[in-house]
Structure 1
Amino acid sequence: MDRGTEAGAAPSREAGNGAAEYAAVGRIPLAVVTVDRDGLVSHWSTGARRLFGAPKEDAVGRPAVDLLPVSGALPEDDDTAPYAAYAAYAAYDGLGPDLESSLGGRLSYPAAGRARLTVAGHDRIDVLWWAYPLVGPGQERLLVLAADAAAMRHEGDDADGAAVERIAPGFALHTDFPGAEGLARRLPEILPSMSVGESARIVAQVLELGYPVLEFSQNDRVPVTPDWGVPRRTERKARRERAARAAAYGAPVPQDVQDEGEDLEYVAVRERLEFLNEVSGRIGTSLDLTQTILEVSRAVVPRFTDVAGTYLREQVVAGEGFPEGVPDTTTMWHRVALEHTDEPGRWDDVVPVGEAMPFPAHTPFFQCMTTGEPVLVPRISEQMGHMIAAQFEKRDIRPLITNRSMLVVPLKARNVVLGFMILLRHPERVEFNDMDRVTGAELAARAGLVLDNARMYTYQESVAETLQDSMLPHIAPRMAGCDIATRYLPGTLLGRVGGDWFDSVKLPGSRTALVVGDVMGHGLNSAAMMGQLRTAVQTMAALDLPPAQLLRNLDDLAQRLGDNYLATCLYAVYDPIAGELQIANAGHIPPVLVRAEDGHSELLDLPTGAPIGVGGVPFEAVRVRVAPGDRLVMCTDGLVEVRGEDIGVGLATLCESAAHPAASMDDACDTIISALNTRGGRKDDVALLMARLNGIASEAVAEWRLSLDPIEVGRARAVVREQLHVWGLAGLADSAELMVSELVTNAVRHAHSRQIELRLVRGDTLLCEVDDDDHTLPTLLSAGPGDEFGRGLRVVSTLAREWGTSRTSAGKTVWFELTLPRR
């Protein structure tokens, strides 16, 4: 057979048999017709108009029996089995006399036939046809392919085309036909003017049933591959030349030139538009950058290309700001996706996803990313393949790319190249052309906007998350006399930035301040206000203000910051030595206290107070006695409040889940989150703080009162050394004695009238505090060799694990901590 047969030409005969002869493939123009479940024509291709003479507008909607070459075979009076009689034609043409009965009166298998019919304006034509039954949700129930048998005649054959002995659907995918894979790749081109969804569904069934095949007298099988339907450039050029010559002599333009040019161009353009519309619907379904990248890559394979590799700039992948400047040879490009129709694993090891590399200036990729325009390479030559492969160390990609058609399209947004896509077609597939270049550019433009939206969302989400994390404190899990666990959940619908916060502050006397607050509103403004209020609470807590006074000062600050500053706040001070909580509330939901003795949980009854920023409303503190092991749970209303539900339901669930026994503080927090966060409708962010109030036993605390006499410095050193020996901490005695001597000396020198208080607390560390009635806080000084003063705090700063000063209502406290020796 002639392997180079063009569309419309007849394949010639060669002598001989064998597998090699089956590789011959003939190409002829096809008429494509679909028939719906009512027996009416629903699709009538340009090829059908040329073959049968009826224009599309006259054919669609008419009974198929009036138009197709099998007229009379379709029963017009039986709506239930409109295609049954095709089996009779199949039997007539040699498919077997029992086919109709075996099908139960309905066509469920591909059939074929040959018919002579008269077309207006033409002689009688000899038509070959193949019929494929269709199943599925659509209206189409029959696909008919037809061709002019004259295209199959050979020189020397008689007028009846006796060389064609049998016409049958051939199962190319289920036989030893060596060209089956090549034909399968042409299947998407069989219905060029149908919608994408219909075409995909119908082509899948044709592929399963088999290609139309002609069998000649020599028993050579010639599969008929559908033509694309768009004439070659040379053919279009020839028609234009004919039209130009006709116009030069004043003759009318031939009708075939007018009709063919208009119809085929219209079909091609419409198909491209349908493809772009399909791609647009498949990408951009998510703002997740990774998901968007996969959608863009998968949208073009295999419909438009066989291989699609997506590369993005490093800043885009990292979720950083918008990349600036024109890319150069140092710009790193990350391969973020690779889709292909080759055998699995063929590309994975050679060009793995995740690899980053620059591209040299002599490559088409560099040209695309610097100009921002598509680059078309009809065929990658051996030389170009070697040039491209040179940058892949220890890998030879030439077998993957050589002799393939390549189109490189930029992914742009706001005139900046974010990345590019490398599209490759198999060598046996039609090359990319100028229309494909335009289609690829439009595809890339749409994909670039979608990627930029996803990039911007990812960047803004990263900025918001960084801002939120920077504003939330990193609380130590252990404070003096208590363990703390926290959780923060961003709002699920209103962004990752909110105004909820929690905090803990170390206070004099081994006390700890616990804070939970909620700025009203969402977004950056609320987060900014939250940062200001949290800083203010930290500062005022360090002044050891009583809870009610602290909220009063915070309310005044909020009013000075602006009229729109409103927030709720719960402020508690835990004294582990006294076993007491002092709590004040500013419009916040009450905390839950879980008693260790019996596991009972309750909402603490506190004066509600008004939100911070209202102004002119007094705040009141409440003292609550607690026992070692009790747990305090403080949270924002986002955890318990659900739209359309009474908040009392959420508070009850909070109490119940807080009382649930847990192996650790983290497990207890997770239990609460699980119980409350599974309810639908939560939109607000959530801050949760849980503190286990362990207390400090009285035998772990030692206190002394010292008079304002320098002789008390020696007494202080002696009592400290003795107490550390009692606690078994003699190894810390020397350092502790020296630092206590310095602090008591300063207190004796600067105190006014009240006695000095010295306290040692043994907990996770050894804490020493010295209180006096002087409000001036000491500072580190740079003492010279001749200076008499200024070295005391330098000694403390050098020897202590941690030290600090804070004001109290009566004066100040200077303290230091020493790390306990390992046991």
Structure 2
Amino acid sequence: MTRQGSPPSGPGDRPGGPLDGAATARATVDERGVLTSWSEGAERLLGYAESETVGRGAGMLLADGLPEEGLPAGLLPDGGAPRWNGTVTLRHRDGRPLDVRVLAHRQDPTDRSPGGWLLVSAVSGTEAVAEDVELSRWAFDQCPCAVAVYDTRLRLRRVNEAMSGVIGLPEDEVRGLRLSEIGGKPQSGELEDQMREVLTTGTAIDARTYMRTGGEAEEHSWSARLAPLCDEEGRVRGVCLAAHDVTEEVLARQRLLLLNSASVRIGTTLDVNRTAWELADVCVPHLADFVSVDLLEHLDTGAEPPPGPVTGPVPLRRVAHRSRTDKGPSAPWVKVGDVQVYPDFTPLAASLASGRPVLNVMTDPTMRRWAGQIPERAAYAREHGFHWVMAVPVLARGTTLGVVVFSRFVGAAPFAPDDVLLAEEITARAAVCIDNARRFTREQNTSLALQRSLLPHHLPRANAVEIASRYLPASPHPGVGGDWFDVIPLSGARVALVVGDVVGHGIQASATMGRLRTAVRTLADVDLPPDELLTHLDDLVIRLSDDAGAEQTSGEVGATCLYAVYDPISRRCTLAGAGHPPPVVVTPDGLAYPVELPVGPPLGVGGLPFESVDFELPEGTVLALYTDGLMGSGDRDADEGRRLLAEILARPAVSLEAACGTVLSALLPDRGAPDDVALLLARTKVLDTAHVATWDVPADPAEVAKTRGYVTKQLRDWRLEDATFATELITSELVTNAIRHAAPPIQLRLIHDLSLICEVSDSSTTVPHLRRARAFDEGGRGLLLVAQLTQRWGSRHNPTGKTIWAEQILHQENGEV
């Protein structure tokens, strides 16, 4: 009789039984080879009592009579191995030798033990006991692994309880059948072929298959071991099939692969819509049969998403959806781009409010209520077989962006907890990509707006040149660059043509471009020669670079620039470059060539001079200025690009605007330029003698009256009688100042262009300036009067002195200025 609560005793619990403690000989030996413990089983094996062994050397146990001191040679492993096993001849207490199988384990020192070796050996031997047959039968029947035994004809002979459950039939009903007859599926036939191979070769085979278990609708993944059953002579007598259900392991591996695929395929671009489509594509059909991505409506306006959960009826815009069926994507209830308002009880709104996934079945009361409000949506769901629905919020950096809905059709397995975790993880990764794309788009729009505000909105009218221009941002991902161009009217009917390129991209490059463009306009207004203007601009870039370094912003400031001045009266063009590609000139007769321009350093280098070139341009010559983005094709160098540009411009064109379009289409790839492109085309005009009148003025105050008479007559010839009074006053003041304060020779020139320009040149380098005359001063009011009568006035230096000029706006008969 057993005590209450204790397990029933069995054969192994009896003294001398196979599991009895006395049936195992155990002894421990320290590092010195001294026995430190001795078990009852050891006493049964060798006859020594514990008192006769503990404290003595282990050598006393060896049959060859080695000394007791030290570790016995050959008994324990060499080289510090943690385990050793082998046969050792020991001496029984009665003197007879015994061959004993010994297993030795190294033991590390602890607080309770100094360490050493544990020696164990079985005392009872390997003789069979009566219960072995029962144990074998119980092991086969109750083994958790599904096992089946087939004979040489591949007929089933035995199955255990686990395999019977897999088949879904008791052993009596399937005994004698082949595997293909039991399974009835192609997979069963494939396994049977592999079993036949095992019978033929006698070699075990590991197989993988997908099969339904008895009474279940979903297929399971199985790992099967097909092993031959051989008799004592090695002849194959049958095949043992042992199967393990590895469905969970396979699903876990598939989820891991899907998560890895999501990391690679989602977020390949900085485009919100494209990222949403990538999310849907990744999850169908591996995670869901239908996936839709809806984002908050106000994200389209560039507004910041709200922090935390979103409550109340939520307006969402559909940005992407994907279905595993052909008809799903073609006719969804909500079209891409549509905005729908979702009540607070719907799965989408509930997930946004809670910030957690929400699972529903179409038969839930919530889904029935929703279907009752929108019968068309319910009809669509029934038609396409929607059954399981999971809504997962799109959250990134503490803000709510939208919701992803994962749906499975009728017949599919419900979403498992691991599926929910996987959907959350994929959505979270996509949310970061969507938020990055949203932030990039917002900043890009802001930057592009800044850049557009810094570029010229329209080019000024000028009789000196006919202008056409193009500006293209980098593609396929437009960004903010530092390319710019400008056309600046100068005194004397001249015009300045400018094109430049700031190193780098982004808001910093665009802001630098704006500062340089403003600086060029300011320096041009001073009428500096091109080489001097670039020198001042170089100093400015150096200061900007120093400021950037002090503020620890990224990168250095650098730029290239080309500055050209064209005079329509002399037909001379003067230009200088700072590390910029040279312009291309196309003469009226079709000859096209790049200008041989001295190579100047880029802006920001400092310490190196800039040189200008001066040449004459016939009327109708086209001057092409551009940035290096126009030459930026990866399979073409800059020289080849300039040659191609010259060839295109040499061809006849309807207009300069048409020529711009032809150049861009020929030089830029179809996918767009990898860098920003600025192109400025200018066709030169000439102001002939009919629009220019020049007089040499003697340095005599009496000549002022005669000069006014010349001017009056010339204005009458030009039919500008309305401008006579103001022009006479301006001429008198400028000529009088030159006679009084400057040195001869003195020259007066009138230019009739879009405006009327009066110029007085002398050999002095002293520049007059406005000053406020006191009440009793007799002079000092002349330039103030000139400033009041003209739109603008100024001075410029030339090789022989200076020129003072004043410009008046001419009012045409149609009222235009």
TM-score (norm 2): 0.60
Residues 478-510 of structure 1 show CA distances to partners (whole Å, capped at 9, x for unaligned) of 632322223345456998333332211112222
Q: Distance in 2 between matches of 1:345 and 1:703?
A: 82
1:753 maps to which residue? 737
1:665 to 649, 656, 667: 656
- Shift in Å at residue 740 of structure 1? 5.7
Residues 513-559 of structure 1 show CA distances to partners (whole Å, capped at 9, x for unaligned) of 00122334555544433322221101111222222332232233333
Q: Is the 8 A contact 1:379 1:431 kept in 2?
A: no
2:409 maps to which residue? 426
Task: For residue 769 of structure 1, give the secondary structure of its aligned residue in structure 2.
Answer: strand
Task: For residue 545 of structure 1, give the secondary structure of its aligned residue in structure 2.
Answer: coil
Q: Distance in 2 between matches of 1:71 and 1:475?
A: 93
Task: For residue 811 of structure 1, give the secondary structure of its aligned residue in structure 2.
Answer: strand
1:569 maps to which residue? 561
Task: For residue 376 of structure 2, give the secondary structure of its aligned residue in structure 1.
Answer: coil
Residues 583-624 of structure 1 show CA distances to partners (whole Å, capped at 9, x for unaligned) of 223343322211112x11222233333333333444343321
Residues 341-366 of structure 1 show CA distances to partners (whole Å, capped at 9, x for unaligned) of 46637874741211234444343322
Deviates more, 1:311-320 or 1:527-536: 311-320
Q: Where does 1:159-170 land on structure 2 (aligned, <5 Å)? A: none
Deviates more, 1:637-646 or 1:426-435: 637-646
Is 1:601 aligned to 2:584, yes or no? no
- Shift in Å at residue 580 of structure 1? 2.0
1:119 maps to which residue? 158
Distance 1:315 1:124, change over 3 A: closer
1:767 to 732, 738, 755: 755
Q: Where does 1:208-227 land on structure 2 (aligned, <5 Å)? A: 226-227=217-218
Is 1:442 aligned to 2:442, yes or no? no
1:629 to 602, 617, 620: 620
Q: Distance in 2 between matches of 1:287 and 1:758?
A: 60
- Shift in Å at residue 375 of structure 1? 1.4
1:305 to 288, 297, 313: 288
Is 1:355 aligned to 2:346, yes or no? no
- Shift in Å at residue 296 of structure 1? 0.8
Q: Where does 1:616-695 land on structure 2 (aligned, <5 Å)? A: 616-640=607-631, 647-678=638-669, 685-695=676-686
Q: Distance in 1 between matches of 2:368 and 2:714?
A: 87
1:400 maps to which residue? 380
Q: Distance in 2 between matches of 1:455 and 1:123?
A: 55
2:319 maps to which residue? 336
Q: Distance in 1 between matches of 2:141 and 2:631?
A: 73
Deviates more, 1:540-549 or 1:559-568: 559-568
Is 1:537 aligned to 2:529, yes or no? no
Q: Distance in 2 between matches of 1:483 and 1:437?
A: 66
Residues 337-390 of structure 1 show CA distances to partners (whole Å, capped at 9, x for unaligned) of 122346637874741211234444343322322332111223354664444774
Q: Which runs of 5+ in 1 are unaligned?
A: 1-49, 60-66, 73-114, 128-145, 171-197, 204-210, 213-222, 231-258, 725-735, 780-787, 798-802
- Shift in Å at residue 117 of structure 1? 0.0
Is 1:723 aligned to 2:707, yes or no? no
Q: Distance in 1 between matches of 2:286 and 2:760?
A: 83
Letter in 2 for 1:723: W
Q: Distance in 2 between matches of 1:621 and 1:522?
A: 29
Is 1:327 aligned to 2:310, yes or no? yes
Distance 1:344 1:718, change over 3 A: farther
1:814 to 804, 807, 811: 807
1:553 maps to which residue? 536
* CA RMSD between the two structures: 5.2
- Shift in Å at residue 793 of structure 1? 10
Task: For residue 304 of structure 1, give the secondary structure of its aligned residue in structure 2.
Answer: coil
Q: Is the 8 A contact 1:574 1:581 kept in 2?
A: yes
Q: Is the 8 A contact 1:484 1:692 kept in 2?
A: yes
Task: For residue 352 of structure 1, give the secondary structure of its aligned residue in structure 2.
Answer: coil
TM-score (norm 1): 0.60
1:613 maps to which residue? 604
Task: For residue 737 of structure 2, give the secondary structure of its aligned residue in structure 1.
Answer: coil
Distance 1:491 1:399, change over 3 A: closer
Q: Distance in 2 between matches of 1:740 and 1:355?
A: 68
Distance 1:814 1:277, change over 3 A: same
Q: Distance in 2 between matches of 1:270 and 1:822?
A: 80
Q: Is the 8 A contact 1:363 1:388 kept in 2?
A: no
Q: Distance in 2 between matches of 1:568 and 1:673?
A: 21
Distance 1:539 1:122, change over 3 A: closer
Q: Is the 8 A contact 1:472 1:501 kept in 2?
A: yes
1:592 maps to which residue? 584
Task: For residue 459 of structure 2, give the secondary structure of its aligned residue in structure 1.
Answer: coil
Distance 1:377 1:757, change over 3 A: farther
Task: For residue 605 of structure 1, give the secondary structure of its aligned residue in structure 2.
Answer: coil
- Shift in Å at residue 420 of structure 1? 0.8
Q: Is the 8 A contact 2:218 2:413 kept in 1?
A: no
Deviates more, 1:498-507 or 1:642-651: 642-651
- Shift in Å at residue 631 of structure 1? 0.9
- Shift in Å at residue 294 of structure 1? 0.9
Distance 1:264 1:592, change over 3 A: closer
Q: Distance in 2 between matches of 1:428 and 1:581?
A: 81
Q: Distance in 1 between matches of 2:672 and 2:328?
A: 45
Q: Where does 1:190-209 land on structure 2 (aligned, <5 Å)? A: none
Task: For residue 119 of structure 1, give the secondary structure of its aligned residue in structure 2.
Answer: strand
Letter in 1 for 2:376: D
2:500 maps to which residue? 517
1:107 maps to which residue? none
Is 1:374 aligned to 2:329, yes or no? no
1:451 to 434, 441, 444: 434
Q: Is the 8 A contact 1:471 1:531 kept in 2?
A: yes
Q: Is the 8 A contact 1:505 1:512 kept in 2?
A: yes
Q: Which runs of 5+ in 2 are unaligned?
A: 1-139, 187-206, 222-242, 547-555, 739-745, 762-766, 773-780, 798-802
Letter in 2 for 1:753: N
Q: Distance in 1 between matches of 2:600 and 2:670?
A: 29
> Between Structure 1 and Structure 2, whose CA radius of gyration is higher?
2
Distance 1:408 1:818, change over 3 A: farther
Deviates more, 1:750-759 or 1:686-695: 750-759
Residues 275-296 of structure 1 show CA distances to partners (whole Å, capped at 9, x for unaligned) of 4344444423333332221111
1:251 maps to which residue? none
